Structure 1
Amino acid sequence: MGAAPGPAFHALRLDGLQRDFGALNALKGLDLTIQRGEFIALLGPSGCGKSTALNCIAGLLPLTGGSIWLDERRIDTLRPEERGFGMVFQNYALFPHLTARRNIGFGLRMRGVPKPELERRVDAAIAMVRLESQSEKLPGQMSGGQQQRVAIARAVVVEPPLVLMDEPLSNLDAKLRIEMRQEIRRIHNQLGTTTIYVTHDQEEALSLADRIVVLRDGRIRQVGAPEELYARPAHLDVAEFMGYRTRLAARILARDGDVLTLDLGIGQLQGIEAAPIAGETATLALRPDDLQPVAEGTPHLRAQVEAVEFIGREFHGLARSARGDALHFRAAERPALGETLCLGADPRRVLAYPEMQP
């Protein structure tokens, strides 16, 4: 298998993608340009439109509006087989009566690839996904992780310009998911292909993607590198989805450059403005990793420990303020249930958003 898959292209462009299901607007004008060689994750909760977008790109769903372009070639009018993309499904979609080898070679046989070339490419794909010892087994004789490797090999053996993956790891256990994440990224790097990967798992998206596209209600909310979305979500709903579990109403007491002093009614913290705030009220967002016990003399919130779990090397806990606010925190030592803690955070990790966001 060559290092440059499929027909050469510089960019895939989604231009105002719309898809309606009756009165339901599943996609509401998506605009996105994906460069050749990128690994893009479409991330969001169930029903946000990410799988619909993938199926529209694949040609499995027609558009209601907008267009899809490979460079200057419009492709949304083409049938799925004419687009020539590779697709990896959540349920693997393998032929149960065909061996792994024959499943992998199916697309090449349909394209009429001569047998010597077909065998060479299938051998290379089997080696790439490290299934040499499993190649003559039927899918039913293989583990879920092995079946997923077969599905990936089948998608890439045709050397497509674009590989589309729809939650391919959701049926695997936690250990296999981590292993397969590493394999998928390794294969992407090895082939130099372009990949669009749908997931609802922020950890998957952060570990795999060059850029993450966060969707909500059929619209793109933010596009950026994993580090950017992790540290600086542009909207409160993006922050929530990226793991900012603690949300608190706050009043801005003072501004010193871009640092805000925030009164939360249960104590004070300093933070930064994650999105422009016009008034003097805000909503504060914090990751559990960033809120931790501090000395009483520093800005803090007071709360009583309700639950603690050991996650290896440290503890994650849930504390509740006298007002009833839930605060998710981490600690190096196990706190006692019922203990009252002073919880604080680095101001750069306390993000303040407008009280109400569109």
Structure 2
Amino acid sequence: MLLASSKFDELRLDHMSRSFGNVNALRDVSLTIRKGEFIALLGPSGCGKSTALNCIAGLLTTTGGSIYLDDRRLDQLKPEDRGFGMVFQNYALFPHMTVRANIGFGLKMRGMAKAEAARRVDEALGLVRLEGQGHKLPGQLSGGQQQRVAIARAIVIEPPLVLMDEPLSNLDAKLRLEMRAEIRRIHNQLGATTIYVTHDQDEALSLADRIVVLRDGVIRQVGAPRDLYESPDHLDVAEFMGYRNRLAGRLVRRDGARGTVEVGGVALSGALRGDIADGEAVLVARPDDVTVTENGANALTATVETIEYRGREFVGTARTAEGLEVVFHTVRPVSAGSTVSLSVDAARALIYGA
């Protein structure tokens, strides 16, 4: 029998709050997570995502609201009584214990019979692809292998929820990509429910079924990765989701769901987001939606300041006469100091109220 996760229907956060003195780290957070979902808590440092995870785990007490697993209230229980699996950023392995002993520690604390515990540890080792490594100490493993041990330790207890707090931030870029795929594979194979904290939008987009964007302790938007990538509800969410180009101007025309913003005397079109009044507005665009053009539409003129070779293309920064910085992509080289025409993809640009 393979490892599985405990059965439940939903985890419910009802107006959960956490204050540290006069600082509100979490404010009125309400969210329902369904069995089997992979949820990413995404946001910049200090937004409250790790605080939210620690409140769910019981490592921090809430100062308002409640947490329910189906009809069972959790926020009044100790961490060990909630039965969740936790994967920390720094692995938190016992350095003097073997891999097997680390994985089986939670089972030992629960008083599980040795034979059943050994079977589960074997299954967990196989699931994280560490067969034959059980006799080693953590210090004899690579960073990626140590993180696999931490994941195995979290899942071997067959928890209803697996909680992960930036588990890949200490790995190099290649290992992060490999472990990202492994985490999703393990989630699918277990039929698990996972809450994953990250500040990396690429991680959230590739892993999650739904993304929860937080800022200043408040949920700003919840949605599927594609929704957040293509249609952020708010300007701050758009900026965090990779819309690095922020071009301030005035909304001068509307045409249904589309509008035109005048930026430094140039008219740029995009999709209107939210209830925007006439007057000051901001058009945002991703760097890969801004390209060097000869006679392109929806374009502005700027002077190249930096240019970087990225293999298949170049990524540069340029500045308009009005001082606006624009990040762009191009397949042909341009030199710093040159003047270029930069076309903004009108189908992908978004317009928000200032």
Structure-2 residue corresponding to 1:51: 50
User: 1:266 deviation in Å?
Assistant: 5.0
Alpha-carbon distance between aligned partners in 1 of 2:245 and 2:265, rounded to the nearest angstrom: 14
Question: How many residue pairs were aligned?
Answer: 354
Structure-2 residue corresponding to 1:29: 28
Alpha-carbon distance between aligned partners in 2 of 1:162 and 1:14, rounded to the nearest angstrom: 14
Structure-1 residue corresponding to 2:19: 20
Structure-2 residue corresponding to 1:198: 197
- Contact kept? 2:3, 2:123, Cα under 8 Å: no
TM-score, normalised to structure 2's length? 0.98
Structure-2 residue corresponding to 1:314: 313
Alpha-carbon deviations, 1:318-351, whole Å to 9, x = none? Answer: 0111121100011111112222111112212111
Question: Alignment RMSD, CA only?
Answer: 1.1
Alpha-carbon distance between aligned partners in 2 of 1:317 and 1:215, rounded to the nearest angstrom: 30
User: 1:3 deviation in Å?
Assistant: 5.7
Alpha-carbon deviations, 1:222-279, whole Å to 9, x = none? Answer: 0011111111111111111111111111212222222212210152211111222022
- Contact kept? 1:17, 1:66, Cα under 8 Å: yes
User: 1:206 deviation in Å?
Assistant: 0.8
- Contact kept? 1:259, 1:347, Cα under 8 Å: no
Give the direction of change, closer, same or farther, for the CA distance of 1:93–1:5 in structure 2 (3 Å limit).
same
Aligned positions of 1:221-236 closer than 5 A: 221-236=220-235
Alpha-carbon distance between aligned partners in 2 of 1:74 and 1:135, rounded to the nearest angstrom: 37
Structure-1 residue corresponding to 2:347: 348
Structure-2 residue corresponding to 1:263: 262
Alpha-carbon deviations, 1:162-219, whole Å to 9, x = none? Answer: 0000011111111111111000000000000000000111111111100000000000
- Contact kept? 2:104, 2:156, Cα under 8 Å: yes
Three-state SS of the structure 2 residue aligned to 1:154 is helix
Alpha-carbon distance between aligned partners in 1 of 2:264 and 2:131, rounded to the nearest angstrom: 62
Consecutive unaligned residues of structure 2, counting only runs of 5 or more, are none
Consecutive unaligned residues of structure 1, counting only runs of 5 or more, are none
- Contact kept? 1:266, 1:301, Cα under 8 Å: no
User: 1:297 deviation in Å?
Assistant: 5.4
Is 1:10 aligned to 2:9, yes or no? yes
- Contact kept? 1:88, 1:164, Cα under 8 Å: yes
| One-letter amino acid of the structure 1 residue matched with residue 327 of structure 2 | H
Three-state SS of the structure 1 residue aligned to 2:126 is helix
TM-score, normalised to structure 1's length? 0.97
- Contact kept? 2:2, 2:123, Cα under 8 Å: no
Q: Which moved more, 1:149-158 or 1:261-270?
A: 261-270
- Contact kept? 2:3, 2:158, Cα under 8 Å: no
Alpha-carbon distance between aligned partners in 1 of 2:255 and 2:179, rounded to the nearest angstrom: 46
Alpha-carbon distance between aligned partners in 2 of 1:292 and 1:167, rounded to the nearest angstrom: 33
Alpha-carbon deviations, 1:278-327, whole Å to 9, x = none? Answer: 22321111110111122335221100111111222111110111121100
User: Following superposition, which runs of at least 4 residues in structure 1 exceed 4 angstroms of deviation?
Assistant: none
Structure-1 residue corresponding to 2:210: 211
Aligned positions of 1:135-214 closer than 5 A: 135-214=134-213
